[in-house]
Amino acid sequence: MKKLIIVGAGGFGREVLAWARQAVEPWVVKGFLDDNLQAMDRFGMEWSVLGTVDGYIIQEEDVFVCAIGQIAAKRRCVESLLARGAEFVQVIHRTATIGEGVGFGRGVILCPGAIIGSHARLGNFVSINLHSSVAHDSVVNDWSQLHCHIDVTGGVTVGEGVLIGSHASLLPGVKIGDGATIGAASLVMRDVAAGTTMFGVPARPYAQREVSVG
């Protein structure tokens, strides 16, 4: 029997523990990986930190999901495990709604109330948090993270490694470049360049930063 290991024992990791146990096909959770070996000690739960990401020896029964909210750290941890042969799986909560013809990459997390419209596509290691929606024909590329109550409307393209804050809305057909950040409660009405941070209604550039998606 395959057993799930959650990478990251922070707040999102503990949420993903619950969502995994309530998933469409509930997972048997083995424990966590985290550089803080005492991260779970104060919560009085039966699941502990099994080891660090780089130090853990992968067992035949192990499968993984990464619940780290910071994109660069998430990518670093996932790539470390992939290089050692780790298998990453999807965690899809049983209350998620999925349309026809949807495509998923590996390591996708769909939290409670997530809605994925028909013929949308989610890349590898995409996380869709509570009550966020990705409408028909939209694409969310690898490593991107959508926080809670986000409305990605039809035909939107979200680039690689994009972070979208809670309650943001993206109007139909807009394109978000790689490494961009969309601030909470922002309304995106036009395309966003790679590496740009956008805030406001309508969303306007806030700051520029270098982007590395290689």
Catalytic residue numbers, as ranges = 136
Residue written as tokens 């409307």? 153
Report the C-alpha dihedral over residues 105, 160, 140, 193, rounded to 10 degrees: -170
Scanning 108-212, the segments in alpha helix (DSSP H) are none
C-beta atoms surrounding 101 within 10 Å? 12
Count the residues in the chain.
214
Enclosing H/E stretch for 61? none
Rounded Cα distance, 142 and 126, in Å: 6
Q: Exposed e or buried b for every residue in 189-198, given b needs 16+ CB within 10 A?
A: eeebbbbbbb
Q: Which residues contact 205 (CB under 8 A, 6 or more apart)?
A: 196, 197, 198
Rounded Cα distance, 107 and 123, in Å: 9
> Long-range CB contacts (< 8 A, 24+ apart) of 147-152?
147/184
